[in-house]
Structure 1
Amino acid sequence: MPELPEVESLARFLTGRLAGRVVDRVYPVAVHALKTYDPPASALEGLAFDGVTRHGKFLDLRVGGLHLVMHLGRAGWVRWREQLPGVAPRPGKGPLALRVRLGGAGDGVEGGAGFDVTEAGSQKRLAVYVVHEVQEVPGVARLGADPLAAGFGPAAFRELLAGERRQIKGVLRDQSVLAGIGNAYSDEILHAARMSPFKLAATLSEEEVDRLCAAVGSTLTEAVERSRGLALKDLKAEKKSGLRVHGRKGEPCPVCGDTIREVSFSDSALQYCPTCQTGGKPLADRRLSRLLK
């Protein structure tokens, strides 16, 4: 799933390619992905891009007085193409969900370039919105603090965690608390902070909160910096190669050499290092425990 670093990199990549370009045609290929109908997607045609920003995991493309907002879900992605096919796409069973064809920028730039929004797999969670104000998107309106915002720090983090009786792994993934962190980077942050994913947020000491806050900032910032300058097609591979514990069950921890363990849930799994995070004790894998009964 694209998380904050990947969406931030997408925003930076598209900013340099879309500024001043005019939308020629919009093709909503997968109707289920388009969550709004007024204004229609065709309202973007003839308008110029004037910026690309990020709100948590949401990508916000400003087009004239409108916003083209996308949440890429679990398997969505944006693919830049210098030359789109000349034939209009047809709805079908392929991964293509939305195509945006660009015209010239009024400075001799030829049309034909654009981007595709695709979604792989059978779980269709991609969501595309065309709105007048970005806060009209329900998910954006509910977002919590941005961990890379200038004003975010230990004091603000302590306020967010005060009274939280949930496990810290779930708090980090809660978009209404911190915007943009998902399953992968929460694993990475907790490993960097040397903290158990099952630890209750309200029980963290001041030193632990400070350590966790520092791990949030460094993990996300380093991931964004690793992606700087990469083509869109390389961002997913970079994310995978940069992860130290997430998705690396059975491999040695790069810090201590212990074997990375996993806890499985119904639709996801977390990975951690026992030596670095839980005092050497393996966490109970509830799904495995049920199978053994």
Structure 2
Amino acid sequence: MPELPEVEALVRFLDDRTTGRTVVATDVAQISALKTFDPPVTALVGRVVAGARRHGKWLDLVLARPPGFGTVAAPHRPDDAELHLVFHLARAGWLRWSEKAPTTPVKPKLGGSGGGRIAVLALRVRFDDGSGFDLTEAGTRKRLAVHVVRDPSEVRAIETLGIEPLDPGFTAEALGGLMAARNQQVKGLLRDQSSIAGIGNAYSDEILHAARTSPFKLTRSFTPDEVARVHAAVGEVLGEAVAASSGRPAAELKDAKRSGMRVHGRTGQPCPVCGDTVREVSFADRSLQYCATCQTGGQVLADRRLSRLLK
């Protein structure tokens, strides 16, 4: 799943490639991916891209009304000053950019189709210079979400997002307040989008490894020094990942993410810090990776849903 660094890189990529471009076509291939109907996705046609933004893991393409839009000359178009194409790539979605986007008609489908690792087209957007992008999704569990809204806050998942971890307001004191608010496993707090926006399964593993902290340590058990260590790790890990992703084309971001991981996705490989074997705890729909030497004092976590330290 793309997380804050990859989404930030995609936003910068789209902002650079599309600002000032006019949308000439929006073709929906998977109707199930489109979560809104008013305004319709066709309302984006004829609008000019004013820029791209990020809200946690959500991408937001801002589309402005050009002069004469929504007048007598084009009465069928909504005259909202600004519309937003907001989308969440979920676990298996991706954005594929083309300097010359296909112009062949796209046939809409009512439900998800395809499976396995085949990426299925969900939405195609084309611009006046011939470029464009496809939103695709692989796998059988279709979670890609596309919204056309007048304000991003109309999307409930955006409206309820927590603090951005790279914002100046995300201080060690702010993190300590979140930890004290509810006693929970620290990995769960880092992944909770209503608390901290943009961190997912992969980067929470990396942050906790950098902080030398067990993923199952309860938040109210942290000392001020331990809170400060986790806070510093958040800034270090995300800052390095954003820098590594910046300027890369969309096609390279997945490989760049994988190559930068120290423990996540590296079960059985040596920890780059101490050389111990990276271990895994599996759950029904995900897994986490950690280093016992660096994070749990050498103790191995039981591989079950309600894991506790083995005695």
Q: TM-score range by the shorter chain?
A: over 0.9
Report the Cα offset of residue 163 of structure 1. Answer: 3.2
Determine if contact 2:279/2:290 at 8 Å carries over to the other structure: yes
In the alignment, the residues of structure 1 paired with residue 303 and residue 57 of structure 2 have an alpha-carbon distance, to the nearest angstrom, of 29
Report the Cα offset of residue 288 of structure 1. Answer: 11
Task: Report what 2:253 is aligned to.
Answer: 235
Determine if contact 2:267/2:278 at 8 Å carries over to the other structure: yes
- Classify the secondary structure of the residue corresponding to 1:162: helix
Task: Report what 1:108 is aligned to.
Answer: none
**How many percent identity over aligned positions?**
59
Report the Cα offset of residue 119 of structure 1. Answer: 0.6
In the alignment, the residues of structure 1 paired with residue 132 and residue 187 of structure 2 have an alpha-carbon distance, to the nearest angstrom, of 38
- Classify the secondary structure of the residue corresponding to 1:256: coil
Task: Report what 1:43 is aligned to.
Answer: 43
In the alignment, the residues of structure 1 paired with residue 2 and residue 263 of structure 2 have an alpha-carbon distance, to the nearest angstrom, of 17
Matched, 1:3 2:28: no
In the alignment, the residues of structure 2 paired with residue 265 and residue 91 of structure 1 have an alpha-carbon distance, to the nearest angstrom, of 35
In the alignment, the residues of structure 1 paired with residue 306 and residue 193 of structure 2 have an alpha-carbon distance, to the nearest angstrom, of 28
In the alignment, the residues of structure 2 paired with residue 18 and residue 91 of structure 1 have an alpha-carbon distance, to the nearest angstrom, of 25
Name the CA shift for 1:287/1:140 in 2 (closer, same or farther; >3 Å). closer
| Aligned counterpart for 1:278 among listed residues 286, 296, 299 | 296
Report the Cα offset of residue 158 of structure 1. Answer: 1.2
Matched, 1:124 2:142: yes
Determine if contact 1:144/1:176 at 8 Å carries over to the other structure: yes
Report the Cα offset of residue 84 of structure 1. Answer: 1.4
Matched, 1:102 2:127: yes
- Classify the secondary structure of the residue corresponding to 2:302: coil
Name structure 1 gaps, 5 residues minimum.
Answer: 104-110
Name structure 2 gaps, 5 residues minimum.
Answer: 65-81, 115-119
Determine if contact 1:164/1:200 at 8 Å carries over to the other structure: no
Task: Report what 2:67 is aligned to.
Answer: none
In the alignment, the residues of structure 2 paired with residue 288 and residue 238 of structure 1 have an alpha-carbon distance, to the nearest angstrom, of 32
Task: Report what 1:208 is aligned to.
Answer: 226
In the alignment, the residues of structure 2 paired with residue 209 and residue 236 of structure 1 have an alpha-carbon distance, to the nearest angstrom, of 30
In the alignment, the residues of structure 1 paired with residue 145 and residue 181 of structure 2 have an alpha-carbon distance, to the nearest angstrom, of 33
After superposing on structure 2, the runs of 4+ consecutive aligned residues of structure 1 that deviate more than 3 Å are 91-94
Matched, 1:152 2:170: yes
Normalising by the residue count of structure 2, what TM-score does the alignment of the two structures yield?
Answer: 0.89
In the alignment, the residues of structure 1 paired with residue 246 and residue 170 of structure 2 have an alpha-carbon distance, to the nearest angstrom, of 22
In the alignment, the residues of structure 2 paired with residue 12 and residue 198 of structure 1 have an alpha-carbon distance, to the nearest angstrom, of 34
In the alignment, the residues of structure 2 paired with residue 280 and residue 8 of structure 1 have an alpha-carbon distance, to the nearest angstrom, of 36
Equivalent runs, 1:62-141 vs 2, <5 Å: 62-64=62-64, 65-91=82-108, 93=113, 95-103=120-128, 111-141=129-159
- Classify the secondary structure of the residue corresponding to 2:173: helix
Equivalent runs, 1:247-286 vs 2, <5 Å: 247-286=265-304
Aligned length: 282
Report the Cα offset of residue 187 of structure 1. Answer: 0.2
| Aligned counterpart for 1:190 among listed residues 208, 215, 240 | 208
Determine if contact 1:22/1:102 at 8 Å carries over to the other structure: yes
In the alignment, the residues of structure 2 paired with residue 159 and residue 3 of structure 1 have an alpha-carbon distance, to the nearest angstrom, of 23
Normalising by the residue count of structure 1, what TM-score does the alignment of the two structures yield?
Answer: 0.94
